[in-house]
Amino acid sequence: MTLSLVLSLFALALVRGTPILLAALGGVLSERAGIVNIALEGEMTAGAFAAALLSYFTRDPWIGAIGGVAVGAAVGFALGFAATRWRVDQIVAGMGINLICTGGAAFGLIYVFNQAGVTPQVPAINQALWPMVLLGIALAAALQWAIARTPIGLRLRACGENPHAARAAGIDPLAVRLYASTIAGGLAGLGGVFLALGELNLYSDGMIAGRGFIALAAVIFGRWTPLGAAGVALIFGLLEALQFALQGNIAWLPSDFLQALPYIAALLALLGASGRYRPPAAEGKPYP
């Protein structure tokens, strides 16, 4: 393999990995505050669809991008609100949100554009693709620092580990969890924006294709740290890129196996990592 080929492979890995990375950062944020975020998939879907929709009607892709992040954040707020005020089961609520978002986007496609499956082409921000990749990596580093080294990060972690102790120290766990879930939704929404307006210039049904769930796996394999999750997300991106590079080049390797490569890798990682992953102690547990 020549150097240029290797470089283009890594470039592709960064592009494929970034939406997963953004959503995974959201996952880290909400889970460190104590909210299991299985709704990342739905938040990405909502962000991508809203971005394409707004870009289509305003003809301004930046409004679309901001709108996509805002809608993702709104979905995150809904999850956070239900988790903190109604004390719902967070995994069940997250699955409900996923159904609502994917169904809602499909409904919206037909309702607004009168066609199933895909929006028309919309104004995109393809020129911002690489800045967004860099933004993702910078965000990972910034969040790593903020969670580990700042008072706000300490409060966030306290709410995920022991909300009662946090309460005793004068922190409002419900508010922290709500904020964290909202920002998490915004980050996942940005991941959707990246796919819809950064890489492509449309929204199509199923375009998120399980990336929200892969992001969830990245959160766990990254041990709930932003840099760890970002690293795993980029490895998933590399596996996706490899799939493109190897497709048709190795006769004995079926392409369906390559397609399943990221998921098989995740499963093997689970197998090899028994007991080494400890989630935040109060994750998923309603407070008070």
Smallest distance, another protein to C-beta of residue 149, A: 27
Distance in angstroms (rounded) separating the CA atoms of residues 160 and 94: 18
Interacting residue with another protein among 22, 182, 283, 287 (CB under 8 A): 283
257 binds another protein (CB under 8 A): yes
Smallest distance, another protein to C-beta of residue 217, A: 5
88 binds another protein (CB under 8 A): yes
Query: If you count them, how many residues does the chain have?
Result: 288
Interacting residue with another protein among 86, 145, 169, 250 (CB under 8 A): 86
Q: How far is CA 84 from CA 101, 134, 139, 141, 195, in A?
A: 21, 33, 26, 28, 30
Smallest distance, another protein to C-beta of residue 79, A: 9
Smallest distance, another protein to C-beta of residue 99, A: 3
216 binds another protein (CB under 8 A): yes
User: By rule CB under 8 A, what count of residues binds another protein?
Assistant: 48
Smallest distance, another protein to C-beta of residue 98, A: 7
Burial of residue 181 (CB within 10 Å: 0-12, 13-18, 19+) is buried
Distance in angstroms (rounded) separating the CA atoms of residues 204 and 166: 43
Interacting residue with another protein among 9, 63, 74, 106 (CB under 8 A): 106
263 binds another protein (CB under 8 A): yes
Nearer to another protein, 123 or 279 (CB): 279
Residues found near another protein in the complex (CB under 8 A)? 38, 82, 86-93, 95-104, 106-107, 110-111, 116, 210, 213, 216-217, 220, 254, 256-257, 259-260, 263-264, 266-267, 270-271, 273-275, 277, 279, 283-284
